[in-house]
Chains A and B, each alone.
Chain A
Amino acid sequence: MMNHEMIYFYDGSFDGFLCCVFDSYANKEVLTAISRDEDFIPTLFASRVIVTDRSHANRVFKKVVKVSPYAANLLQKGFLTCMPEKEIHLYHLVVKLLRDGPGFLRNFSDETLFPVITAVRHLNGEAHLLKGFIRFSELGGVLGSEIEPKNRVLPVLRSHFCARYMNDRFFIYDRTHKEALFYAAGKAMIRPLEDFQMAPPDDAEAAYRVLWKRFYDTIAIKERYNPKCRMRNMPKRYWNTMTEFQDEAFFRSQNSLAAVPDPSAPNGIPAPATPPGSGLSAPESGS
């Protein structure tokens, strides 16, 4: 007999999640929630703490791939999304897939598929925007960048930037999820990183920042000024990591106290600076 109303706790990893699926089958239990260990709260429901076992995880994943490679991809991507209770949605997807076969995956409006696919589209959409909105600074021959995404986009962005800057060294720091993508000499890795502060720019870096801001402020046509349209296409939450929306301090080189040329254009439309403190970084000396 199936045991209802079970809650599983796991370590937060993708493998850990797959083990929840594995154990639910092994124990013949139907899950109502899957939560991370750290969110553990004593509850009235029966619960279980799941230990991550790679071989179990692999077996589940292989099984899903065999039934539908597309579903396997949805699982991986879905796990990166910021969908609330993503684990239980993904769990339902696997259960339905193994019970009914992959036919329902064709129907975008299917009630099990729809929330997952919507979340994955949100992830892909955010990653797509960030492919454009990410800004790098060059410091000591390394390109560095910071982002604040809602979803865990780094695994999605990885191949794009690794191909683009194949011969460079670069990193992207995800402030939201406190992890960073590092790339050097053909190798990329994503690692947790608790805290990170970008050093202030040198002369060359500061000069290119000024040039870019000037370009930005000049390219708009005044007679077509349309801030609403800009906001719709580029939501404000992205602005605080973008060069063109920084305040003056951001354009000042660490080496010179000399006045920098005013980055905004004489006849252009100056971009609003995001409030101080939310800029790319607080200046920090000696790095």
Chain B
Amino acid sequence: MDVLEKLTILTDAAKYDAACTSSGGNRTARKGYIGNTSSSVAGCCHTFSADGRCVTLLKVLMTNRCVYDCKYCVNRRSNDTRRAAFTPEELADLTINFYRRNYIEGLFLSSGVFRSPDYTTELMIKALRLLREQYRFNGYIHAKAIPGTAPELVEQLGLLADRLSVNIELPSETGLKTLAPDKTKTAILSPMRQIQVRNQQNKEELVKYRHAPKFAPAGQSTQLIVGATPDSDFHILRLTQGLYDRYRLKRVFYSAYVPVVEHALLPSKDIKPPLLREHRLYQADWLLRFYGFRAEELLDEDHQDFDPRVDPKCSWALTHLDFFPVEVNTADYESLLRVPGVGVVSARRILSARRAGPLHIENLPKLGVVMKRAQYFLTASGKMPDGLRFTPDSLLRGLIAAERPSLPQQELVQLSLFDTAV
């Protein structure tokens, strides 16, 4: 089988992984090496695929052979599909040549479980070592740590990669038991803990010895599949929060379940991937990481799922009208961030601009405030926008309309289904 065919099979098998960023990397250019990763290219997309997703890394599997039989996965043992495996040389050559042409920012290497987790990881290590040592590759590497891999091998992997990830995939233990019978919660969580502890240690080492080898300096991430199991948004968001708090994850990715197989325990094959739900979870995730929200503020036992009609921040605002309006000339940063239509950037600009003089409503759009949303929730020098009148009802309608243009088409189709139900 030639490399073109292998690439086709192993890309096709890897495409369901949502992670594709080079964030958190920091390798300055070195003489004799090719490449650099710095914060200046964080969020650098090298292209966008036909589904509108950012492509940063060469995202492939080492092999799609797998001894496991996770029900939701195209690579599962029992699925009749073509199998292929890269040799370490082929993979290193592809990566370096794509990188030189600026097709990619680096490599995202994952794999099916070939023979055993250890055997697979050793293969991956071989490829990455070749890339780093022989090809002197100084770009970004994201490697998957396979549950059940020996700690010594995870350690080696971490010394070669910028970021490691262990995918949880199914957000609950019941889901795991029924749909991924070969994996256990402990097998997933123990490498996560190892990476976290080792990462922390490494930070201390680096303070003492500047040249200590770096262990996964860009931290770790994970992925949760949304919609393959009956788990609620509240459950998923609380799990996410726990991962950020207790495992110091850099990112949690969500992947709307794409039904690839017919199985009694899975949603039917003609169901559409829940893209709007995935979108709402990303918005909420953003609120946890940058806006100081807690999962319990956004959802609770009585409201287990996000309102499909408005984003989570608007949703929160609508149920906390007594918090508003916020006066932009006096409010602190945290309060500004609670205003729908005010983001991290515009909140900072407000803080800076108001030191030069009092702000008025007319200044706000230029500072990046999205007035369509923000107008209902703030005052500037004591005033709301001229002529603004609203009732709770028209407020809701206004907010729905304000978000609509920024939602992708498919999500609108889903949304209109909800509209008729209102």
Contacts and interface: CB of A to CB of B under 8 A. Distances in A.
A234 B102 contact: no
**Interface SS of chain A:** helix
Contacts, number: 177
B51 A138 contact: no
B100 interface: yes
A133 interface: yes
A226 B352 CA distance: 38
Q: Which residue among B11, B33, B44, B102 has the maximum number of chain A CB atoms within 10 Å of its CB?
A: B102
Interface of B: 3-4, 7-8, 11-12, 15-16, 28-36, 40-41, 44-56, 58-59, 94, 97-98, 100-103, 105, 256, 258, 272-273, 275, 349, 352-353, 355-357, 359, 363-364, 366-368, 408-410
Given A215-B58, A243-B103, A265-B8, A221 B353 contact: no
B366 A109 contact: yes
Contact of B356 (A103, A210, A211, A261): A103
A84 interface: no
A227 B54 CA distance: 13
Interface size class of A (residues with CB under 8 A): 35 or more
Contacts of A224: 51-53, 256, 258, 273, 275, 410
A230 B48 contact: yes
A258 B47 CA distance: 30
B244 to A, nearest CB: 26
Which of B98, B101, B258 has the largest count of A CB atoms less than 10 A from its CB? B101
A230 B352 contact: no
Nearest to A165: B34
Nearest to B258: A223
Given A103-B356, A107-B357, A225-B50, A137 B101 contact: yes
Interface in A141-156: 143, 145
A8 to B, nearest CB: 29
A132 B15 contact: no
Contacts of A103: 356
Interface stretch (A44-52, A55-63, A266-274): A266-274
Nearest to A234: B48
Contacts of A216: 47, 49, 55
Contacts of A218: 7-8, 11-12, 15
